[in-house]
Amino acid sequence: MQKYGATAEDFAEIGRISHEHSQRNPYAQFRQKYTLQDILDSPMIFAPLTKLQCSPTSDGAAAAVIVSQQFLDARPHLKSQAVLMAGQSFKTDSPKVFSESAIELIGYDMTARAASAAMQEAGVTSKDITVCELHDCFSCNEMVLLDGLGFSEPGKAHELVRNGDITYGGKLVINPSGGLISKGHPIGATGLAQCAEMTWQLRGWANNRLATNTRVALQHNLGLGGAVVINVYKRADGKLNSAVDDADIAKTSWLGYNPAVEARGVTAADAEKVRSRKYRNDFALGDTPQRLKL
């Protein structure tokens, strides 16, 4: 705000967009829509951040299945679902974090360096990315890191927000899941939840919130003090994404429904499908079956 001319309303708009997006994510902790005034009028946490611009306390779990190219080539029927990790980078803080800049303190430099490395490995630029899951633990982090990821000219991220360019109909869609602000921030599971959203977007399974005509997606996750991981994803078949019908997904998903738009509980039959046949151990399960009412 002091350096580039952003306003409190610009930060609140990020919160409004995150909450609006979350309505269509069945896994989001909060799925309520708010007006910009609602965001501004919520309890002040630390100016200009109000409560509805801050990620909540969350619990969660997530998992990903990663396979080799050889594995995929032997199963060509999976290629339409497979997503390629085309570029990946892990960076830590540089001495800039000690420059007494609040912008550097929340990850600007390490994000910029990681984004450059991951995009270079993937052979893309920020202009190729049309959907992104960004670590928006607070609206101020999203504002700074939109800039760090190269989605705006330096110091112009607030103009990107004002122009409606971080939501549907704009230059790209940021946090279609609702982001950490609305989806929740369960720490260890946060990054893989982002991975799941990007996978569903590229497959076309997130058909109620799809960033259409996407070829490249980016996932950004960080922890202060300090490390950042960025993944650049593409479809394994090289095609653009397009919405896939729920009925078609039900046929190809072992779950029998579209998990991107419908969140169901775990059944005893589901658990049985993933338990080891050779090394079964009921003692190791503890009271999990009772807690999940299996």
* Interatomic CA distance for residues 237 and 158, integer angstroms: 36
Residue corresponding to tokens 């991951």 = 118
Kindly state the tokens that stand for 86: 């085309």
Closest CA to 200 of 149, 270, 267, 133: 133
Given this model, what pLDDT does residue 280 score?
87
Residue corresponding to tokens 């009412």 = 293
Amino acid at 269: A
Write out residues in the chain with pLDDT < 70, as ranges: none
Residue 275 burial class via C-beta count within 10 angstroms: exposed 0-12, middle 13-18, buried 19 and up: exposed
The strands making up 129-133's β-sheet, listed across from edge to edge, are 83-92, 227-235, 216-223, 129-133, 173-174
The two beta strands, 227-235 and 216-223, are antiparallel
Closest CA to 199 of 147, 127, 274, 249: 249
* Interatomic CA distance for residues 204 and 211, integer angstroms: 9
Given this model, what pLDDT does residue 116 score?
98
Given this model, what pLDDT does residue 63 score?
86
- pLDDT tens figures, 137-159: 999 999 999 999 999 999 999 99
Kindly state the tokens that stand for 41: 């009028």
Given this model, what pLDDT does residue 178 score?
98
The CATH code of domain 8-247 reads 3.40.47.10
* Interatomic CA distance for residues 74 and 286, integer angstroms: 37
| Domain coordinates in residue numbering, the chain | 8-247, 266-294
* Interatomic CA distance for residues 175 and 219, integer angstroms: 9
Kindly state the tokens that stand for 65: 């299945």
Long-range contacts of 147-150 (CB under 8 A, 24+ apart): 147/108, 148/107, 148/108, 148/109, 148/111, 148/112, 148/115, 149/111, 149/112, 149/115, 149/218, 149/220, 150/112, 150/115, 150/116, 150/119, 150/125, 150/126
Amino acid at 130: T
Given this model, what pLDDT does residue 225 score?
85
Long-range contacts of 98-103 (CB under 8 A, 24+ apart): 103/3, 103/144
Distances (CA, A) of 174 to 21, 63, 98, 113, 184: 9, 22, 29, 20, 15
**DSSP 8-state secondary structure symbol assigned to residue 239:** P
